[in-house]
Amino acid sequence: MQLNLTQLLALIKEMPAYRQLVDRLKETNDSTRVVVLDAAKPYLIAALYHSLRLPMLVVTAQPENSKQLYEQLLTWCASTPIKLLPEPDVLPYQRIASDTSTELERIQVLSALAGIEPTADAPLVVTSAPALMQKTTQYRDFTAACHTIKLGMDVEPFKLLSQWQAIGYRRENIVEVPGTISHRGGIIDIYPPTSDFPARLELFGNTIDSIRLFDSASQRSLKAVSTVAVSPATELLTPLLSNRLELDKVLNSIDLSGCSPEVSSSSSKN
């Protein structure tokens, strides 16, 4: 007989060892270790998540294991906002274009962990050690780049577009994929990575007169909204420098003596 999640939780909660584990996790901040069979891990994680209702980060040794565990948890937590944090397909500062979908997945997970992505439940994130070891933006910088655009707000269109480009948005003629923006007269489109649909801002002068979500394929409006949450479109945010002199000072302070002539020459040109 196959059990559903409710029946399974009821059985697990009757186990003294499980109740003891939950009580210990609620009462102490100290590390708690348990030995669990691999086959039972998805059930235990699902049960703990539903019992504690806290943000949960599950780390596996290898990326293949994290993907397998993620798929297993989807079966037991169908209504839970489970997310998979993938490992980057390129190393930091490697001169190879990264996969856009992978970067967007990581941004969505970071937004959920930071409490930016709107959701009724605490996030359950599955990742691997290689994915977790990759350096990313500090929490304070990531959250500082997030903001909300509201109906009736006064904005400077070109300044707003520059602000969005500084946090990773690409300017396109038509907004079709997350992480892109466009500007046509008094209309500004933006597709935040954490949103299911792009948003169209219609300006009357410098005042936002309307905000509508629209279908990226047909470009047709779906519904009017009063706000749109904007999160970064890249996880490698850099502090915004106030002026050119400060930028030159930072660049000139970098020691390139240990680099090869090719790298030194390329860096000086950039």
pLDDT above 70 coverage of the chain, percent: 81
Strand partners, 154: 207
> What pLDDT band is residue 150 in, cutting at 50, 70 and 90?
very high
User: If you average pLDDT over residues 42-52, what whole number do you get?
Assistant: 85
Strand partners, 200: 189, 212
* DSSP secondary structure of 40-109: GHHHHHHHHHHHH-S-EEEEESSHHHHHHHHHHHHHH-TTS-EEEEPPPSS-TT-SSPPPHHHHHHHHHH
Pseudo-torsion of CA 49, 138, 192, 102, nearest 10°? Answer: -70
pTM (predicted TM-score): 0.75
pLDDT at 242 over 50: no
- Angle between helix axes 5-13 and 16-27 (nearest 10 degrees) is 90
pLDDT at 256 over 90: no
Which domains does the chain carry? Answer: 5-136 (3.40.50), 145-230 (3.30.2060.10)
Tens-place pLDDT, residues 151-185: 999 999 999 999 999 999 999 999 999 999 999 99
- Among 42-46, 120-124, 164-168, 254-258, the range scoring the smallest mean pLDDT is 254-258
In whole angstroms, what separates CA 245 from the centre of its chain?
Answer: 33
